[in-house]
């Protein structure tokens, strides 16, 4: 028999002890209520003890009601996942559109931004996030590899056709102007334009 430590066993032990149904919701509610009471100072500037007692009572009352705890246990992991997705998206944009030394400018910046959005959506649905949030892509969006290749070809053809037929003398009338301005529109900075 192995005596090595196993994180999965430790998590199961915590679950059996009621750590997720009692301790974590208690700590969360206590911390939030205590922080709010400390900020608003209902009991005056020296009311820290009163704030702690009120926060503790409210936390115990919430933990006692398992329906509320169930909602918290369903809601908070989804919000955490959404927060991670937002942070990763911002990280990708920061990598692509560094304002000091922009790597992708003009049309390439707009194309890369669209690819980032598509990649994030495909990654979310490919990793099972749809089941976590309780939704899935419609059947007509479940495309095969042949459909995907056709869409890529059509998209590239449209971009090539728009680029070839655009009037290079009048930059404001170019059909691809929106693609050039897309990074700066989203970031609010001039990241999509060259100096």
Residue 151 has pLDDT above 60, yes or no: yes
Name the nearest CA neighbour of 110 among 178, 31, 47, 54: 178
40 and 103: one domain? no
124 and 178: one domain? yes
Give the integer Cα–Cα distance in Å for 105 and 126: 30
**100-122 pLDDT tens trace:** 665 566 666 667 777 777 777 77
**68-92 pLDDT tens trace:** 888 888 888 888 888 888 888 888 7
| pTM metric for this prediction | 0.53
Instruction: Report the number of distinct structural domains present in the chain.
Output: 2
Most confident range (mean pLDDT) of 50-59, 102-111, 146-155 is 50-59
Whether residue 87 lies inside any domain: the answer is: yes
> Over the chain, what is the mean pLDDT?
75
40 and 109: one domain? no
16 and 55: one domain? yes
Which residue segment(s) compose the domain that 111 sits in?
80-195
Whether residue 58 lies inside any domain: the answer is: yes
Whether residue 121 lies inside any domain: the answer is: yes
Whether residue 73 lies inside any domain: the answer is: no
* Boundary of a domain, candidates 37, 64, 91: 64
Whether residue 181 lies inside any domain: the answer is: yes
93 and 177: one domain? yes
Give the integer Cα–Cα distance in Å for 121 and 141: 12
Phi, psi of 57 (to 5 degrees): -65, -45
123 and 176: one domain? yes
Exposed/middle/buried for 8, CB within 10 Å: 0-12, 13-18, 19+?
Answer: exposed
22 and 84: one domain? no
Coil, strand or helix: which one is 127? Answer: coil
Whether residue 71 lies inside any domain: the answer is: no
Whether residue 29 lies inside any domain: the answer is: yes
Query: Quick one: DSSP state of residue 139?
Result: G
56 and 100: one domain? no
60 and 85: one domain? no
Using the CB atoms, write b or e for 112-136: b if 16+ within 10 Å: bbeebeeeeeeeebeeebeeeeeee
Q: Which residue did the predictor score with more confidence, 189 or 14?
A: 14
**CB neighbours of 137 closer than 8 A, spacing ≥ 6?**
125, 130
146 and 184: one domain? yes
User: What CA dihedral angle connects 60, 61, 62 and 67, to 10 degrees?
Assistant: 130
Give the integer Cα–Cα distance in Å for 34 and 81: 26
CA distances (Å), 43 to each of 29, 31, 168, in order?
19, 17, 69
* Amino acid 10: pLDDT: 83
121 and 181: one domain? yes
Whether residue 69 lies inside any domain: the answer is: no
48 and 110: one domain? no
């Amino acid at each position: 028999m192995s005596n090595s430590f196993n994180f999965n066993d430790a998590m199961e032990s915590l679950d059996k002890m009621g750590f997720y149904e009692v301790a974590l919701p208690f700590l969360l509610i206590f911390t939030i209520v205590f922080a709010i009471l400390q900020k608003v100072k209902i009991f005056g500037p020296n009311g820290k003890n009163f704030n702690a007692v009120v926060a503790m009572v409210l936390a115990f009352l919430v933990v006692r009601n398992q329906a509320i705890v169930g909602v918290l246990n369903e809601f908070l992991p989804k919000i955490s996942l959404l927060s991670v997705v937002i942070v990763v998206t911002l990280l990708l944009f920061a990598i692509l559109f560094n304002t000091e030394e922009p790597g992708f400018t003009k049309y390439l910046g707009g194309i890369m931004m669209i690819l980032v959005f598509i990649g994030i959506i495909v990654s979310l649905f490919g990793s099972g996030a749809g089941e976590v949030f309780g939704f899935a892509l419609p059947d007509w969006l479940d495309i095969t590899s042949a459909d995907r290749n056709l869409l890529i070809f059509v998209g590239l053809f449209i971009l090539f056709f728009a680029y070839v037929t655009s009037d290079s003398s009048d930059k404001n009338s170019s059909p691809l102007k929106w693609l050039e301005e897309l990074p700066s529109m989203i970031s609010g900075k001039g990241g999509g334009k060259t100096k």
